[in-house]
Structure 1
Amino acid sequence: MIEISDVEGRAAAHAALGDPIRLAMIDDLLLGDRSPGELGEAFGLSSNLLAHHLKVLQEAGLIVRARSEADRRRSYVRLVPAALAGLVPAPALPATEPTQRVVFVCTHNSARSQLAAALWQRRSRLPATSAGTMPATRVHPRALSAARRHHLHLNPAATAHISDTVRDGDLVVAVCDNAYEHLPARPPLHWSVPDPVPADTDDAFERAYTDLSGRVDRLATALAPATGTGEHHRLPKDTP
């Protein structure tokens, strides 16, 4: 669950950076510290306007000011990198219990859910599998081709029904709209990934792969501290 205080802090930082001058100041401070006078000169600001911008940035927690160790009459403005990292949206995981396994579900368990599970196994130590609400007898040939292109392993005959797969402790992720909308109990997570099968082109399967890859990365990162499994194992993308 996201703490409201965290959201308020991010909102204040975003508001502070909504001014082009202040945003440019943050860019300027990324690689080095500046004295207030140097910032004022760099951006052509009067002392009053400079003081205003620095106050806004400081109150938002984006900068700190410290006295020079050489000349105590001089101060320097320093960026707070952690404040910038905090601008990234914080994921709100629906599960209240630690996740034991991730189960990716689509209708036929022949393309999207298979690719998602294979991607997950390359990104994380947390176990994963896939299932379908109406599983096909085999994995789609173009899904197998997409997996080979990206050095993922798929078993052509390993399709399964959701009722035979899901167990307590699983985090179910519906990777298609049909599965999400038609299951009696809607899964806690839904990825509206377009079905590549009707188009039946390599480009359509590549788009599905790319969409799933980004989503898997974000979920793996969000689950890492919550599962107690330690750091997730990550290989370079498309490593054989």
Structure 2
Amino acid sequence: MKTDPADAFRVRVARHAALADPARLHIVDLLTVGDFSPTELQAELGMPSNLMAHHLRVLEDAGLTVRRRSEADKRRSYIRLAAGALNGLAPGAEHGATRVLFVCTRNSARSQLAAALWRQVSEIPSTSAGTHPADRIAEGALEAARRHGVDLPEVPPRKLGKVAAGDFVITVCDNAHEELTSLDGVHWSVPDPLRINTEEAFESAFNDLSGRIHDLAPKLRAA
């Protein structure tokens, strides 16, 4: 049975609301490493039993926690995080894609690095293209890839053609994004390392792309 996206969204809202209270967030922080009895949680937070009972009830109602009766002292129970309790709490919708297409102006650095980085973290195919491709990949991009052990084939940059249905398009260059006003996709404003053309500039671009790709990959599913 499929879950209604609206229902799933309401669940996320309820969980965020439950976690908005500092005491409940503290309780969940503790539960990420182990199970606690209500009495143990009271001691950790210095909180009276009636207030602790209220917070635990809110967390249970939001589907964040479950409790189990102790096998030793049957009067005691243990609180634990519910399975998948924290899944999907990071903002961002899930998207389907048959391929990820990274676009910049010259297709000589940022888009090439992004496509190579993507191949390390996702089974969804990736490729790259440029609006005005250069003759070859920038040496700084190749060196950055080598430093980080990323396989970046030295293939000629290619011109952006027709975008295929199912492509998840990401422009990684402000010039390309502002030129392709009719292109349906997302934009990452990554500074051009070739403007400065230093090792530090390429490292900065590499790290920026790597962080964004690791954040996005869990939100894309193969269509």
- What TM-score, normalized to structure 2? 0.85
Q: CA 1:203/1:68 → structure 2, altered by over 3 Å: closer, same or farther?
A: same
Match of 1:132 in 2: 130
Q: CA 1:187/1:149 → structure 2, altered by over 3 Å: closer, same or farther?
A: farther
Match of 2:200 in 1: 203
Tell me if structure 1 keeps the 8 A contact 2:98–2:222. Answer: no
Tell me if structure 1 keeps the 8 A contact 2:124–2:222. Answer: no
Coordinate RMSD, CA, aligned = 2.4
Offset at 1:79? 2.1
Q: Secondary structure at the match of 1:187?
A: coil
Offset at 1:190? 1.6
- What TM-score, normalized to structure 1? 0.80
Amino acid of the structure 2 residue aligned with 1:132 = G
How many residues are paired up?
A: 220
Tell me if structure 2 keeps the 8 A contact 1:118–1:154. Answer: yes
Match of 2:184 in 1: 187
Deviates more, 1:20-29 or 1:101-110: 20-29
Match of 1:38 in 2: 40
Offset at 1:108? 0.8
Q: CA 1:74/1:148 → structure 2, altered by over 3 Å: closer, same or farther?
A: closer
Offset at 1:216? 2.2
Q: Secondary structure at the match of 1:104?
A: strand
Identity %: 53
Q: Distance in 2 between matches of 1:5 and 1:34?
A: 30
Offset at 1:81? 4.5
Structure 1 position 215 matched with structure 2 position 212: yes
Unpaired segments of 5 or more residues in structure 2?
none
Tell me if structure 2 keeps the 8 A contact 1:104–1:173. Answer: yes
Of 164, 167, 176, 2:164 maps to: 167
Of 64, 82, 88, 1:86 maps to: 88
Q: CA 1:16/1:114 → structure 2, altered by over 3 Å: closer, same or farther?
A: same
Match of 2:174 in 1: 177
